[in-house]
Structure 1
Amino acid sequence: MTGRTPAAPRSAPPVPDGSVHSWDTSIGVDGPGTRLVVFLAGCPLRCRYCHSPDTWYGRSGRRRTVDEMVALAARYRRFLRVAGGGVTVSGGEPLLQPAFTRELLRRCHALGLHTALDTSGFLGDRADDALLDATDLVLLDVKAGSPATYRRVTGTGRLAPTLRFARRLAERGTPMWIRYVLVPGLTDAADEVARVADVTAGLTGVRRVEVLPFHRLGAHKYAELGLAFPLADTAPPDAELLARVRGQFAARGLTVT
């Protein structure tokens, strides 16, 4: 024996407060069933079609503790479970606050609630295994099929991190819903869609693909913030274009909505 006193076990670092923009409930949009959706503030991307520019900056949110947000989920718990839903952490970009997101998902999961992470995947490397272990579903926004179009859509960033994150989720067996925003003149080229469809078809765990038609419903937020809406003159896709793009995904054997 050395006579040394055993070192005290290291305590886990405290979970930082999160910058929470808002929360709301939705049905069948942000995951299965009725969801409590927590929108975190802050995003590294500036997507041309973004309908929530008010979530771009962390300062646009209010500081909240995990305890506060879990208490909110607990109040909705019975209703969410009966409605086949759960909790979705969205944004902004929730992986800009990985420690807060991890603990919120973990504790909601411990309540017996289905958990979903809504992310662009651009910061997917920040999602550690503990975060993904507490995530039942990832809503992955694949914004483009080529690096050049990705830059046009987002104004910054690279496509590669999203694809790397998607492959990691597939290897883990994490269920995914792939989201693709269809913007005429920006993301509607047949070869662009084909690239996304090919990548998606090669991923295990994809439960469905959501082709989301571009809309201008968030234009008033740009005006309120004194910003120009980049796609103010772009019309939503018509039924023919939507059918063609959805058909491209369906032709790869994917379930499309």
Structure 2
Amino acid sequence: MQSFVQQIARIPRQPLLGHLGWMRGALGGTIGIAISGTIGVLVLGTTSPALPWLVAPTGASAVLVFAVPASPLAQPWPVIGGSIISAAVGLLVGQLTGAPILAASIAIGLAIAAMSVTRCLHPPGGACAVLYALGAAGPEAWGWLHLLAITANVAALASAGWLYNNLTGHPWPHRPVRVPEVAKPATRAAAVHGALTEVLADWNEVIDADIDDLDAIFQAVERRIRSTEQDAPPSALI
């Protein structure tokens, strides 16, 4: 229990305001889903209850786009490509198997593989794969027309994310922060970038951060340490 509490305590709090404050993300998610739902209604209408105008995985995508817009998993191509590709995989598997549990199981595995190969890994894509596999294998027998729903939703969400994030101080698609180099750019920067790449390869872990962001963080930390050491009195450095 103590370890669990310690893990929770280490989760950083998001401030209320600011360009990454939780209020900004909450408002963005509200606007994003409102736009996605509206576009879904305009494209698909509401006359057919069997054809959804807003699919649930879009909500998960909204959390990533508006709350953590710097994440590699929250960029436009993962949001759009990961969702649509996974939904298509789910539909195909569901139609071929006709067994909901089997279809969902195979679909999630194939969706992860497809997103990884096409470089659009997006966690809500897994939900798309399962949802569409169940829809295709279930009594409603979802067809390829149902892809219009997720396509309209994520296209609208990405458009809203691009506009909202850029208007509220966070470039999207994300661009790493550029910081002044603390040493010779041609040699030091390349060495740091290469070392970070090697360390991540040695760890054999997938970290939800771009290598260029990690590089910028390292450079900024090193620059701040240098600045602090230069400003400190000689006695403090002994």
Q: Report the TM range for the smaller structure's normalisation.
A: under 0.3
More helix by share: 2
RCO comparison, higher one (Cα < 8 Å, 6+): 2
For the pair shown, which has the larger CA radius of gyration, 1 or 2?
2
* TM-score normalized by the length of structure 2: 0.23
* TM-score normalized by the length of structure 1: 0.22
